[in-house]
């Protein structure tokens, strides 16, 4: 059970500052959206006679607790326009489907903090875009977009 608390099993935001890689963690929730931009072409006689491909896009939202410095550090990245990566490191064992998932050249497009309340910690949701994604599968197959 202690394995589940290891930070390497979580998503992390990483960026380079003065030549050093800096990690921001933990991310409480993460929701990526991949739009592959494929539209079917129809004719009068048949459907799906072809396809038109548009550029791919990757957007995401992530929520962090607004305690400690996590939300402040992400806000600083947003305000400075610093590009970052969202990474998933491999967990020891065979229960992960991927060796790694990386969204790179990410930029935050908006931030929405919640109100503070006496019953729990406030949170902040950050939305953004990624210019590149790469997935390394357990079978050593690598997939990248765009």
Q: What pLDDT, on a 0 to 100 scale, did the predictor assign at position 94? A: 56
Q: What pLDDT, on a 0 to 100 scale, did the predictor assign at position 133? A: 87
Q: What pLDDT, on a 0 to 100 scale, did the predictor assign at position 131? A: 93
Residue 92, pLDDT above cutoff 50: yes
Q: How confident is the model at residue 1 (pLDDT cuts 50, 70, 90)?
A: very low
Q: What pLDDT, on a 0 to 100 scale, did the predictor assign at position 141? A: 79
Query: Which tens digit of pLDDT belongs to each residue from 101-119?
Result: 789 999 999 999 988 888 8
Mean per-residue pLDDT of the chain: 83
Query: Which tens digit of pLDDT belongs to each residue from 40-72?
Result: 899 888 888 999 998 889 999 999 988 888 999
The residue with greater pLDDT, 98 or 43, is 43
pTM equals 0.76
Q: What is the 3-state secondary structure (H, E, C) of the chain?
A: CHHHHCHHHCEEEEEEECCEEEEECCCCEEEEEEECCEEEECCCCCCCCEEEECCCEEEEEEEEECCCCHHHHHHHHHHHCCCEEEEECCCCCCCCCEEEEEEEEEEEEEEEECCCECCECCEEEEEEEEEEEEEEECCCCEEEEC
Residue 75, pLDDT above cutoff 90: yes
């Amino acid at each position: 059970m202690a394995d589940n608390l290891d930070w390497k099993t979580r998503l992390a935001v990483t960026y380079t500052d003065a030549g050093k890689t800096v990690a921001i963690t933990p991310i409480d929730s993460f929701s990526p959206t991949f739009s592959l931009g494929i539209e079917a072409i129809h004719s009068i006689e048949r459907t799906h006679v072809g396809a038109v491909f548009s550029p791919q896009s990757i957007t995401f939202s992530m929520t962090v607790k607004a305690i400690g410095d996590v939300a402040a550090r992400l806000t600083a990245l947003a305000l400075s326009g610093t590009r970052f990566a969202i990474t998933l490191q491999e967990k020891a064992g065979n229960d992960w489907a991927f060796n790694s998932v990386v969204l790179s050249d990410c930029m935050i497009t908006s931030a929405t903090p919640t109100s503070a309340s006496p019953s729990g910690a406030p949170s902040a949701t950050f939305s953004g875009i990624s210019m590149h994604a790469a997935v390394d599968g357990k079978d050593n197959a690598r997939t990248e977009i765009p």
